[in-house]
Structure 1
Amino acid sequence: MEEKKKINIFIIDDSFNNEENIVKLMRSSGYAAHTTRIEDDEDLIEALRKKTPDILLYSNGMELISLQDTVQCLEEHASEPVPVLAVNRPGHELDVIEAMRTGARDLTSYDNPSHLEMVMHREIQAHSSIAKLFKLEIAIKETEKRCEALLDSSRDAIAYIHEGMHVYSNHSYLTLFGFDESEDLEGMPILDMVGSDDRDGFKTFLRDNCKSGSCDSDKLKLSLSKSNGTEFKGEMEFSPASIEGEPCIQVIIRTQSDNKDLEKQLAMMSQTDSITGLFNRQYFLDTIEDSASKAKEGKITAAALLIHLDNFDDIKQSVGVVAADQFLNEISRQFEESVAGDDVLAHFEGNTYSIIAFNQTAETIEEYANKISKASRDFIANIKTQSLNTTCTIGVSLLDKNTPDTGEILLRAERAVEEAGKQGPNTVIVYQPKEGELTQKEIDAKVVTDLKLALKNNRFILNFQPVISLHGDTDERYEVFVRMLDTDGNIIMPNDFLPAADRTGMSIAIDRWVLLTTITTLTKCWKEGKRTLFFVKLAANSLKDTSLMSWLKEQLKKYNVPKNSLIFEVKESVAVTSLKYTAELAKSLQELNCGFALDDFGTGSNPFELLKHIPADYLKLERSFMEELSTSTENQEAVKAITEKAMELNKLTIAQCVQDATSLSVLWGMGINFIQGNFLQEPSPDLDYDFSSMAG
């Protein structure tokens, strides 16, 4: 059955009967009418504060508000134009000319319901078309502005050519050819940018392939000439474009160094932490794996250190997320001065740093670790009129001929730093294996067995948490969470099994189960007439699963999954350390009509750099931005900056972990698209949230 079209109607009338008749009339016409009855100007102003109607019916002869007052009130208080129909009723007839001169679109009558229905249909359709046109005009203007901004900020050298002359050139184009201002190039022939030996060939190419603002052949390799006469090799790419309504040709210059620079940039991003500028977690893990192999062969001795800043949460709450990141950046410089030249210092995560210290043994490492501890203890950062300092606790795992595998090295360091934290600030613990202690490898082997049995016996379940629009979108969006049941049916939370699943590779199998169950649930929802969308997290291991996309394509086709109803989430930190795999995944998902979201977004110094390589649809803000949001000006400024930039790039934003109603109103004012959090509803096995409660 076709879903009824929704329509909001204001009726200025003192009779309930007329309101009921309008609802019945519109229902028979295929509309689900929501009516608001109004008797005076105060009622009308109050109703307009809540929503703008699709149409307003004015019953002639109202004593408390005239047709002229109604039209004037709409002009002053409605957010957009509203079509008004004057309706005659017995004893209160108005002339059609008089009604239209007053501001009504037409005059009809309750005594002639067929005419009333036809006039309402006409005005509703006309109003809908005008509203769409208005939105399209705004969208075109915004798109043109974004295109201009993107062109100006693009690293590609781009120019627009009309009849062989430059009419526009961006900053990269000017820099490439050695010019200071775009005015220096306006009216200059593009032929002047071509090397002397290639000019005849270039003229022939333009004559044969680029006519009237179109290009049949789009690339040409040739020598190019700078303003000082220096020549270099490059490639021109041509495509049709327009500027100020006039047809022209867009030219992009690519030099031989472009690809090398891009590869270098990608490599740097994949191993650098965006907050501190140090190596990141993935680089540290890769290095520790290589170092462990060398240690087993007796080539080196080393130590892996985990350094926890003791009161970082207090600092973050005191000065906000952005200033806390600045503190991390400044203390990183202190740690850099304390490590030896060949040692690897990395920002592991959050308040934790890591070091691989070479040429260290059980006898020397404590002195080394105490030096790091002193650097933290003695450092004071002056940020936003506050003097901030911290202490640290350090856990150490040794690498020698008897070293275990990489996972065990890291877990030993984590156990040591946890023990150090129990003993208090400035404590250093060097991990010493206990007699008969199981290695992590042995523990993980048991975990793998448990996870396989849970999959086999269907002891996983899904929970769902609503992702709610702040701007009236009533599509039913949920984030999907996985839970495991023990053999007695008790719930095991993700933190108690997913880390082990990640270490052992079992996260790939769990992701497949989650995806398949999500797809079948989604299909059921749509068959029931619900426009449901699901956000599904992917583990880091699944990014490198070469068979995932082909499997997913088969399932989407098999279950006839609606387009854009599945959105996949990857954490920003994972995307940075697996940039190539994440970029490939996001592009493949586009081809399958699935969405992509970057989770925990916005903690780096320039998080939007990531979007140059990864086509994300949604940006889910890092949860720490929501801490004390209603009172933290720093967090508010950070959220506002991210939201404004996201709007420019046409990305949708989600605020997760929203804590209270005050935060909700702050987020709405900033233009956040969606909100999520236990304050609204905790994850639940049921898909029962009333999304219409947030509709305007």
Structure 2
Amino acid sequence: MTAAIEILFVTLDPERAERVISGIRMRGTAVRARQASDRTELDELLASSRFDTVVLIESGLDLQLEDIRSALHQSGRQTPAIVITSRPETERLAIFDAGAFGVVGCGQEEVAAMLILKAVEYQFCCNQLHRTRNTLQEAERRYLLLLDSSRDPIAYVQDGIYLYANDAWREFFQIETPEDLARYSLDDFIAPEQQDLLQQLLDSRRDQPDTVETTQAMTLRDAQGRSFEAQVVLTDATVDGEDCTVLRVATERSTSSTGQLSVLDPVTGLYNRRYLIRSLEDALVTAARSGLLFALIDISIDDFASIRIERGLSTSDILLADLGVFLRERFPAPATVARLRGEEFGVLVPNVRRAELEPQLDTLIRDASERPVNLGQDTIKVTLSCGVVIADNSVPTAEHLLARTTRALEQARSAGGNRCHFHRPEDGGPARTESDQAWHARIEEAMANDRLRLLYQPVVNLHGADVPRFNVFVRLFGPEGQIYQPNDFLPAAERTGIAAELDRWIIRHAIEVLAQRLKQDPKATFFLKLTRGSLNDGSVVVWLQEVLHQHRVPAGNVVVEIKEATIITNLKAAIAAARGLKAIHSCLCIDDFGNGLNPFHILRHVDADYIKLDGAFVRELVTDANNQQAIRRFTDAAHAKGKQVIVPRVEDAATLAVLFSLNVNLVQGYFVHPPSEQLDFDFTQVL
């Protein structure tokens, strides 16, 4: 963390702010603090200075968190806000929902001090992550630029498949576009009689250091089938964590092209999208160093599609070229003007505030609507729409910025066009909201296109052969084969309201599999998870009973698993669900058990058949006496109440031995068996 933190207190109670500052200083951190008592002072301070956190002390103040967030948005800042309030506990959740990083009560200045330090540490880590990401992107961009500029044909290959090839490689082998490269494998450019030789060379490299080069004269052929001799140099590299082979062709023919990458758009003469993305990446790096704000603007001609249909392609190109000249005049250096796509133009303006930019854009839109564009025999007037983001280094990537300006532009268009719209983060924080919506779309697409996979992990009795039990997990596969774990997408599913639908997809498909398994083993049991979204849906137990009946699966072969925290925060719904499960003769398991002050108090309200301990109790169990004592207490208490204890995350034999001595009933984990798409575990074997 930084040596001294900058805090903006929004308050009429400076004495309380001083007590908070004292609490921070007592913990060894220096503080530089400023105070604002009204909206005018708040706007002025945010415009002129950068703060690590904003602390709103509500007592006697007219300003609310909504005003703080509005001021932060207007200034282009994304700074965590802490609220100190006298509101009762029941009203504080709404403050969190409105976007506060933390909320504490008046009189809890020590807690506020610690929370501020946590907020600053969080922001510091986020900024460090963004700086590192931007630095890596810059390094990768420069490296790829060097490859693109190389006169030697260079390609990255894995198992004969191209991961990347520079311009010189594509020209050398007569490949027209980068997309065409995907149609070929490496063997397509090697003479048939030498393909075995190449494979031998690749195999021999497995026992050599990555830095050693292998050079071989070979007969190559281009996409037209023409053959020629060349020296091929092989080295090794890693791309996105995957090992691959780098091939470089050294021949006089390869020096005929400079391989320079054009950065200009042929229609407008402006920079192209790729150049603008590079400039945005540079702006993010600069913002990380200086703290200065910058703006990205997405500008578009309204109703361009209709104009193109009515007037033809030549007219549309004239309009685009004319707008390029117009924007270049209005945004001289150091601003960067580029054509993004179609009728959209991007403008990057460094070191700017909204108060300066907004009137400039209003004038731009007004002047554009009044000026005729000369088409030769005719003239035409057009209007423009603008989407704007004012940002600092807290934005993760250039693509995030472009996505935000696109949304702002769409809002300007949907409002009728001929106007400018500044991007406003949605409540709850922009980054999480964007991510949540992306996950929502991924989950919907995965359910529609069968990109969810169920995995089954055995839950095994430590004391001999028993009922075959499987815990059901889910993995989400992206369109390009990416594998996402539940922790990646389930929180977003909860927040966006799709969790209940996802639960039902998983349960329905799992019960279909269970129905087939029961034909071989009538005692097989599946543990199926319910999230908060399903718990609050009062019809879930009735729906579950219908699905079980449809597939002729006895309810006793299903154990519904709900997290302890979900039950506690949704107790009324949990009690109703537990009673419903008991009525249909299904079982209940409380997951992540043992984190409360009195965990077994929950069993007074929810009668569970199993408790599955939080995996944290297994960490370093062999050497951690406290965890051993905790598991023993839980196990003894559970057995006294007639409950079975499950311990997850068993990763080694030593842990298994300790759990056996503690009289735990059931275990699961990678040491027992990893999750698998196959129900292939032999429950007759003894652990």
- TM (norm. structure 1) is 0.42
- TM (norm. structure 2) is 0.42
